């Protein structure tokens, strides 16, 4: 197969793939994977549906997947079964200058099987809004004394903003270490886009809630806060959230505890402060998986994170009793858009040399984003 050679051919159309059944799509995807071998990596985020995960070469959270792909020497194309910001991060990490030089300048092509797979949280902080916020902050505070910190769940343009302004990227695993680094550097932090990860992390570090005002990018003035509140702040939070994790409520914890005495509640830090305060354990997707893997047979859990991951943990650990924390279906609807039809379509186009849905971050944005990502890697 041609992998990225015959760029003059018209791309295969998506519509016919939508009428194929899953068994056919699965077989055709397997055929492309076999033909391309180690030159192709299919990356499957933990929140992805099972049919897609079954065909993934690597499974993990967004940063883990990008790192693993960047470590591969053979890989020349990636199909990222996740959301847009994840594919951007993969593009920047696998195509960073030293990796490009090792490959004699050959880029790894990163495709997102469905371009509509975005992230509602990432979309809550647009670069124009963050730049306007920074300018407004400059009217009441010394921005030289503020470190911008962006959660990895954000557009590359925000990571680049952090790179340019002495800031840094964090993941849900290293947010505390990153905030400690930032607060050693400056008196204040501007944390975006997820207010809950920022608040939960800083609160656990001893920052009082009244030193964490929330900046509303849609407010007319000073993000809906006041000059006095900003001057008294330590962590300035952005008014953004994950629409999936925001659906878990403190009353869900009470209901599950009443129904299953002795149950342990395990939640993601993108849940609200009230939910995290009631949980027994909270942590990143990786931590949630490790907690379950380390628990003895008979352990009882109520887990507050994306539905597909919880269902998979349940299937993989029949020796434990695992409940979903919410009575409502909380799944990442945008990630769910990546189905076998889109995956097959994007892979057959890759193999035919007519790549579709290619995610390519411009060089300047990638350069500054990598500065912020490298700072994160230096934080222990």
- Contacts to ligand SF4 by CB under 6 A: 47, 83, 119-121, 153, 242-244, 306, 332, 334-335
In the complex, the smallest distance separating the C-beta of residue 47 from ligand SF4, rounded to whole angstroms, is 6
d(C-alpha 97, C-alpha 86), whole Å: 19
Number of Cβ atoms within 10 Å of the Cβ of 251? 12
For residue 170 the two structure tokens come to 């964090």
Residue 3 or 156: the one with the smaller Cβ distance to ligand SF4 is 156
In the complex, the smallest distance separating the C-beta of residue 246 from ligand SF4, rounded to whole angstroms, is 9
Task: State how far Cα 108 lies from the chain centre.
Answer: 21
Residue 186 or 243: the one with the smaller Cβ distance to ligand SF4 is 243
User: Closest Cα to residue 12, out of 282, 326, 353?
Assistant: 353
Q: CA 10, 343, 70, 98: dihedral to nearest 10 degrees?
A: 10
In the complex, the smallest distance separating the C-beta of residue 54 from ligand SF4, rounded to whole angstroms, is 20
Residue 83 or 179: the one with the smaller Cβ distance to ligand SF4 is 83
Residue 305 or 369: the one with the smaller Cβ distance to ligand SF4 is 305
Residue 120 or 233: the one with the smaller Cβ distance to ligand SF4 is 120
Sign of the CA dihedral running 371, 334, 287, 239: positive
Do residues 374 and 96 lie in contact, with contact meaning Cβ atoms separated by under 8 Å? no
In the complex, the smallest distance separating the C-beta of residue 367 from ligand SF4, rounded to whole angstroms, is 25
Do residues 303 and 325 lie in contact, with contact meaning Cβ atoms separated by under 8 Å? yes
In the complex, the smallest distance separating the C-beta of residue 203 from ligand SF4, rounded to whole angstroms, is 20
Residue 68 or 117: the one with the smaller Cβ distance to ligand SF4 is 117
In the complex, the smallest distance separating the C-beta of residue 159 from ligand SF4, rounded to whole angstroms, is 15
Residue 69 or 222: the one with the smaller Cβ distance to ligand SF4 is 69
Residue 82 or 223: the one with the smaller Cβ distance to ligand SF4 is 82
Number of Cβ atoms within 10 Å of the Cβ of 97? 11
Strands (E), the chain: 40-45, 58-60, 77-81, 109-111, 146-151, 168-170, 188-192, 214-215, 235-238, 264-267, 281-282, 300-304, 321-324
Query: How are strands ordered across the β-sheet holding 264-267?
Result: 281-282, 264-267, 300-304, 321-324
d(C-alpha 313, C-alpha 217), whole Å: 37
In the complex, the smallest distance separating the C-beta of residue 306 from ligand SF4, rounded to whole angstroms, is 5
Residue 66 or 120: the one with the smaller Cβ distance to ligand SF4 is 120
In the complex, the smallest distance separating the C-beta of residue 72 from ligand SF4, rounded to whole angstroms, is 24
In the complex, the smallest distance separating the C-beta of residue 243 from ligand SF4, rounded to whole angstroms, is 5
Residue that is written with structure tokens 């991060």 in the block? 89
Residue that is written with structure tokens 């009230």 in the block? 274
């Amino acid at each position: 197969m041609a992998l990225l050679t015959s760029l003059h051919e018209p791309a295969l159309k998506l519509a016919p793939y939508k009428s194929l059944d899953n068994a056919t799509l699965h077989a055709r995807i397997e055929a492309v994977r076999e033909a391309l071998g180690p030159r192709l990596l299919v990356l499957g985020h933990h929140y992805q549906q099972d049919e897609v995960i079954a065909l993934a070469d690597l499974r993990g959270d967004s940063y883990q997947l990008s790192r693993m792909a960047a470590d591969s020497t053979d890989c020349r194309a990636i199909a990222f079964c996740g959301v847009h910001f994840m594919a951007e991060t993969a593009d920047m990490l696998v195509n960073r200058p030293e990796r490009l030089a090792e490959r004699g300048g050959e880029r790894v092509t990163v495709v997102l099987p469905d371009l509509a797979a975005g992230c509602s949280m990432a979309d809550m902080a647009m670069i124009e809004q963050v730049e306007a916020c920074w300018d407004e902050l400059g009217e009441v505070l010394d921005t030289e004394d503020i470190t911008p910190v962006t959660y990895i769940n954000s557009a590359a343009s925000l990571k680049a903003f952090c790179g340019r302004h002495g800031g840094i990227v964090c993941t849900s695993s290293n947010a505390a270490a990153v905030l400690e680094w930032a607060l050693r550097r400056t008196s204040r932090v501007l944390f975006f886009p997820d207010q809950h990860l920022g608040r939960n992390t800083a609160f656990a570090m001893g920052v009082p809630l009244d030193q964490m005002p929330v900046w509303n990018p849609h407010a007319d003035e000073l993000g809906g806060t006041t000059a006095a509140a900003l001057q008294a702040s330590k962590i300035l939070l952005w008014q953004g959230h994950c629409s999936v994790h925001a659906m878990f409520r403190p009353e869900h914890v009470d209901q599950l505890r009443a129904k299953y005495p002795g149950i342990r509640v395990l939640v993601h830090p993108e849940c609200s402060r009230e939910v995290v305060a009631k949980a027994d354990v909270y942590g990143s997707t990786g931590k949630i998986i490790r907690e379950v893997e380390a628990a003895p047979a008979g352990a009882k859990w109520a887990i507050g994170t994306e539905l597909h991951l919880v269902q998979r943990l349940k299937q993989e650990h029949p020796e434990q009793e695992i409940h979903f924390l919410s009575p409502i279906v909380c799944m990442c609807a945008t990630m769910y858009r990546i189905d076998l039809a889109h995956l097959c379509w994007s892979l057959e186009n890759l193999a035919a040399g007519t790549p579709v849905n290619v995610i390519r971050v411009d060089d300047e944005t990638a350069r500054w984003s990598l500065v912020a990502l490298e700072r994160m890697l230096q934080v222990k």
